Amino acid sequence: MKTKIILLGPPGSGKGTQGDKLSEELGFAKLSTGDMLREAVRDGTLLGLKAKEYMDKGALVPNDLIITLMKEKITSLGAGMGIILDGFPRTVEQANALGEQVDIDLVLNLDVEDKELVNRLTKRRTCPKCNAVFHLEYNPPKKTGFCDKCGSALVLRNDDREETVLRRLKVYRENTLPLIKYYEKKGLLVTVQGVGSIDDIFENLKKAIL
């Protein structure tokens, strides 16, 4: 079984949702740089203060900050642990740094067209406490406005507003899309259609892993 896995794909392609399901089913650690950064912003740490200005604009946080953060996290897990990376790497520089630390087994690329991504992100609601995600139409919470898992009030992330979403998609195309070729050349890439039911997509991802 593959144990060092990257989830690649544009914002809104389902990396977070599928990463949670995979980590639960396989017992792997899910490392999400977006979640880590939002936590740092909430806690008001130095990293959070530095990251916030980039995140609110829909820009990427500088490579050196992200690479240091991720290296520490991966080291703290130990070599034997299965890992699922969500939202990292996002640039070739990050991918090179990751490759020096970990032998990646598989890169799962979730493919979703832009129009669908904008619809998903602008109607997404997120729990600021436990990071659970919902969608106003596709996956509404049981009680409107509140998290099913921990009961906190759900929010629209600052960077899920339409103009910021469009910026994030541009940033994705310019910086992250080259990673598809990068990992294809290494023979690690499997592309999975990211549209359809959450469970069907999950089954297709699992087939590539097991």
Contact footprint for ligand AMP (CB under 6 A): 11, 33-34, 37, 54-55, 58-61, 66, 87-88, 90, 94, 159, 168
Nearest approach, Cβ of residue 197 and ligand AMP (Å): 22
| Set 21, 38, 90, 125: catalytic member | 90
Could you tell me if 154 and 125 are in contact, meaning their C-beta atoms sit under 8 angstroms apart? yes
| Catalytic-residue membership of 157 | yes
Nearest approach, Cβ of residue 1 and ligand AMP (Å): 25
CA distances from 147 to 7, 42, 105, 122 (A): 25, 18, 34, 17
Other CB atoms within 10 A of residue 49 CB: 11
| Set 4, 21, 125, 157: catalytic member | 157
| Catalytic-residue membership of 168 | yes
| Set 30, 38, 124, 125: catalytic member | 124
Nearest approach, Cβ of residue 168 and ligand AMP (Å): 5
Nearer to ligand AMP, 143 or 177 (CB): 177
| Catalytic-residue membership of 90 | yes
Give me the active site residues, please.
15, 90, 124, 157, 168
